[in-house]
Chain A
Amino acid sequence: MSTASDVGYHAQRQARWHYGEIAFWLIVLACGFAFPSRYLIMTDILRLALFAMSLDLILGYAGIVSLGHAAFFGVGAYAAGLLALHGIVKEPVLALIVAGLAAMVLGFATSFLVIRGVDLTRLMVTLGIALLLEALAERFSNITGGTDGLQGIEMQPIFGEIPFDMFGKTGFFYSLAVLFLLFLLARRVVHSPFGLSLRAIKNNPLRAAAIGIPVNRRLIAIYTLAAFYAGIAGALFTQTTAIASLDVFAMERSADLMLVLVIGGTGYLYGGLIGAVIFRMLQELFSTITPQYWQFWIGLVLVVIVLVGRQRLHRWVLYVPNLIIRQIAGRKAIVAVPESDS
């Protein structure tokens, strides 16, 4: 084998599908058939997973911290609600895309504020933008319904064919399809030269610029894309629950998201998905055991994770899948090599 094709082979190593990944998605799909009574919570997890994947794109790959990611979720949610309520775009998939684009426009506009500065400034700026939007949504209650939220949203059938049912079955498979498609796109993006340049910027912005990477332009691009993803997650929320209220902008929503990624890990795309499952399950578990103190327990888990070190936890979570994969594909093929986080 010549060295050039050797290089090509190794350069694509991470981009190849691993058995563990295929198994992961098959299991998710199987859940849709195995637990027909749990569609609502499972749909909720899918939404959260998509939302977390959005944050992972900027945090895990480009190193941009945000405490205001709910801003884009909220814009997507209200956009989808208003489109449906006023019959502007009746078809859900089209409305979903329009809502995502609305969030994307906001993402692009605010990216210029966010990419400047250090982590702390970024936390404050992103938080500020989300709070501002929440205040605006409250102020313009004639449009947004104020504290009551948007009421009486009725969803039309998907593609004019598939109606949403009261058990949430359509909602679940619809959300899963959206999540999977957006995952495929994200997977393609992060393994591209563009995606690699983001990791370079996160690792060392000084060197990134010194090899000719237009750092700011790349950060703006990924921030805008992440806003689109978050907007889609928000729109899914409205479309599958038929409500949109002010809490879509809430800071808790952004903070929960950080927790999801702390649990699941960043920089390998599955962190948001795995984190969302564990986070919601912990939430369920703790709120059944101690309805009043579940937040305390979640907090405790967070502290433990930070103390034990996420790196090690990743290995626990991925221990069994990796074990299986190693048997099949040899030592070097593992589901994910989580990176350290700055």
Chain B
Amino acid sequence: MTIALETQNLEKQFGGLRVTRDLSLKVEQGARHALIGPNGAGKTTVINQLTGVLKPNSGRILLEGQDITDLPVHKRVLRGLSRTFQINQLYPDLTPLETIGLAVSERLGHGGDWWRRMGTRNDVNGEIADLLSRFHLLDVMNEATVTLPYGKQRLLEIAVAIAAKPRVLLLDEPAAGVPESERHDILAVVGSLPRDVTVLLIEHDMDLVFSFADRISVLVSGALLTEGPPEEVARDPQVKAVYLGEEAVDV
């Protein structure tokens, strides 16, 4: 199997706090890989290093075999690595149409066009229309994002990441904060991603993780605790201990 995304001995510290500890992770091409772990385990910090928002103190990151450790954020996106944020990162004043339009334009290399009106390229328009309808956003495409209900904003968050046509997609708790009634849309969208897109999913909801993932890595205090297929991980006493401990706190 080819490796789509890999970290080698990744290390990140905030002051004295080691938030990523010697993390070596391999995500296979086309995998549905879940990264789980209790709150504060450092999952989001890993994503931030993978995407270039944070620089690791040491270690390397490889995308499809190429070292991307020192690439700026936007260049990683153009190489096929895209993400969603645990907390929505959208443009409050822009509409879903504009938000998705930007992502599509940028990927097709038209994002810097200054002499041409937005909306004058049929290839871009077609893709926007396609994404808007897939993500149930057609009816609100002209509303300012800030006015949309949370569930719609969450869908937009995922739609923007997918507009970049990633080969590797990082989903940071896609269903976080979404009310039960709107969860279904999100899960359906995540479930229907094309098989050739490699997905690394961070999720707290164990039902979602076990129904979705074919491989699970467990992160505790920044270090890899264990890794394997779902059945194995579910049986692991160490994992049980971590999660029982947390469950007790959560309740």
Add 18 more A-B contacts to A11-B101, A199-B91, A211-B103 (CB < 8 A).
A2-B129, A3-B132, A4-B122, A7-B132, A8-B120, A8-B125, A10-B119, A12-B117, A193-B102, A197-B106, A200-B98, A203-B91, A209-B53, A209-B73, A211-B77, A213-B74, A214-B72, A215-B74
Q: Give the distance to chain B from A116, nearest Cβ to Cβ, in Å.
A: 14
**Chain B hits for A203, CB < 8 A:** 90-94
CB pair A212–B74 under 8 Å, yes or no, is yes
> Does B26 have its Cβ within 8 Å of any Cβ on chain A?
no
> Does B40 have its Cβ within 8 Å of any Cβ on chain A?
no
Q: Give the distance to chain B from A306, nearest Cβ to Cβ, in Å.
A: 20
> Does A191 have its Cβ within 8 Å of any Cβ on chain B?
yes
List residues of A whose CB falls within 8 A of some B CB: 2-13, 15, 188-189, 191-197, 199-200, 203-204, 206-207, 209-215, 217-218, 221, 339-340
> Does B160 have its Cβ within 8 Å of any Cβ on chain A?
yes
**Chain B hits for A189, CB < 8 A:** 114
CB pair B133–A3 under 8 Å, yes or no, is yes
CB pair B89–A11 under 8 Å, yes or no, is no
**Chain A hits for B115, CB < 8 A:** 188, 192
4 closest A-B pairs by beta carbon, nearest first, are A11-B119, A203-B91, A212-B77, A3-B129
B132-167, CB under 8 A of A: which get 1 and which 0?
110000100110000000000000000011011000
> Does B97 have its Cβ within 8 Å of any Cβ on chain A?
yes
- Alpha-carbon gap, A62 to B105, bound state (A): 18
> Does B12 have its Cβ within 8 Å of any Cβ on chain A?
no
CB pair B89–A193 under 8 Å, yes or no, is no
Q: Give the distance to chain A from B88, nearest Cβ to Cβ, in Å.
A: 9
Give 24 A-B contacts (CB < 8 Å), ordered by A residue.
A4-B128, A10-B141, A10-B142, A11-B97, A12-B117, A192-B118, A193-B102, A196-B102, A196-B118, A197-B112, A199-B94, A200-B94, A200-B99, A203-B94, A204-B91, A207-B91, A209-B72, A210-B51, A210-B161, A211-B82, A212-B106, A212-B111, A212-B164, A340-B93
> Does B239 have its Cβ within 8 Å of any Cβ on chain A?
no
Closest to B99 in A: A200
- Alpha-carbon gap, A197 to B103, bound state (A): 9
CB pair B117–A15 under 8 Å, yes or no, is yes
Closest to B141 in A: A10
Q: Give the distance to chain B from A280, nearest Cβ to Cβ, in Å.
A: 30
How big is chain B's contact interface, by range? 35 or more
- Alpha-carbon gap, A203 to B93, bound state (A): 7
Closest to A218 in B: B112
List residues of B whose CB falls within 8 A of some A CB: 51, 53, 72-74, 77-78, 82-83, 85, 89-94, 97-99, 101-103, 105-107, 110-120, 122, 125-126, 128-129, 132-133, 138, 141-142, 160-161, 163-164
Closest to A189 in B: B114
**Chain B hits for A218, CB < 8 A:** 112
Assess A206 versus B53: contact at CB under 8 Å? Given A192-B115, A211-B103.
yes
CB pair A5–B125 under 8 Å, yes or no, is yes
- Alpha-carbon gap, A331 to B86, bound state (A): 37
Closest to B123 in A: A4
Assess A196 versus B112: contact at CB under 8 Å? Given A7-B141, A213-B106.
no
Q: Give the distance to chain B from A178, nearest Cβ to Cβ, in Å.
A: 20
- Alpha-carbon gap, A217 to B99, bound state (A): 19
- Alpha-carbon gap, A53 to B63, bound state (A): 44
- Alpha-carbon gap, A221 to B8, bound state (A): 37
Q: Give the distance to chain B from A194, nearest Cβ to Cβ, in Å.
A: 4
**Chain A hits for B119, CB < 8 A:** 7-12, 15
Assess A207 versus B78: contact at CB under 8 Å? Given A4-B129, A193-B105, A212-B107.
no
CB pair B93–A211 under 8 Å, yes or no, is no
**Chain A hits for B72, CB < 8 A:** 209, 214
CB pair A197–B91 under 8 Å, yes or no, is no
CB pair B132–A210 under 8 Å, yes or no, is no
- Alpha-carbon gap, A196 to B116, bound state (A): 11
- Alpha-carbon gap, A214 to B99, bound state (A): 16
Q: Give the distance to chain A from B56, nearest Cβ to Cβ, in Å.
A: 18
CB pair B116–A192 under 8 Å, yes or no, is yes
CB pair B128–A7 under 8 Å, yes or no, is yes
CB pair B163–A193 under 8 Å, yes or no, is no
CB pair A213–B94 under 8 Å, yes or no, is no
**Chain B hits for A340, CB < 8 A:** 92-93
Closest to B51 in A: A210
- Alpha-carbon gap, A53 to B215, bound state (A): 55
- Alpha-carbon gap, A13 to B72, bound state (A): 34
**Chain A hits for B129, CB < 8 A:** 2-4, 6-7
**Chain A hits for B101, CB < 8 A:** 7, 11, 193, 196
CB pair A193–B110 under 8 Å, yes or no, is yes
